[in-house]
Amino acid sequence: MLIDSHVNLHAPQFAEDQGEVIDRARAAGIALMVTICDRVSAFDAVHGVAMAHNDIWCSVGTHPHEAKENLGLTSQTLVELSNRPKVVGIGETGLDFFYDYSPRDVQAAIFRQHIAAARQTGLPLIVHTRDADEMMGDLLEEEYAKGPFKILLHCYTSGAELARRGAALGAWFSVSGIATFKAAGDVRAVIAQMPADKIIVETDCPYLAPMPMRGRRNEPAYLPHILAKLADIRGWSLDEAEQRTEAAFFDLFHTIPRPSLSGTTA
**How are beta strands 125-130 and 56-60 bridged, if at all?**
unpaired
Q: Assess whether pLDDT exceeds 50 at residue 266.
A: no
Does 259 map to a domain?
A: no
Does 261 map to a domain?
A: no
Q: Identify the domain containing residue 143 by its residue range.
A: 2-252
Q: Assess whether pLDDT exceeds 50 at residue 264.
A: no
Does 260 map to a domain?
A: no
pLDDT attached to residue 136: 98
Does 21 map to a domain?
A: yes
Grouping H, G, I as helix, E, B as strand and the rest as coil, residue 254 is: coil
pLDDT attached to residue 259: 76
Does 181 map to a domain?
A: yes
Output the average pLDDT for the chain: 96
**pTM, 2 dp:** 0.96
Does 263 map to a domain?
A: no
Does 266 map to a domain?
A: no
Answer for the pair 81, 51: CB distance below 8 angstroms, yes or no: no
Q: How many angstroms separate the CA atoms of 113 and 203, rounded?
A: 26
Domain count, the chain: 1
Neighbours of 169 (CB within 10 A): 17
Q: What is the CATH number of the domain that holds 80?
A: 3.20.20.140
For the chain, what percent of residues have pLDDT higher than 90?
97
User: For 178-211, how does the pLDDT look when each residue is reduced to its tens digit (9 = 90+)?
Assistant: 999 999 999 999 999 999 999 999 999 999 999 9
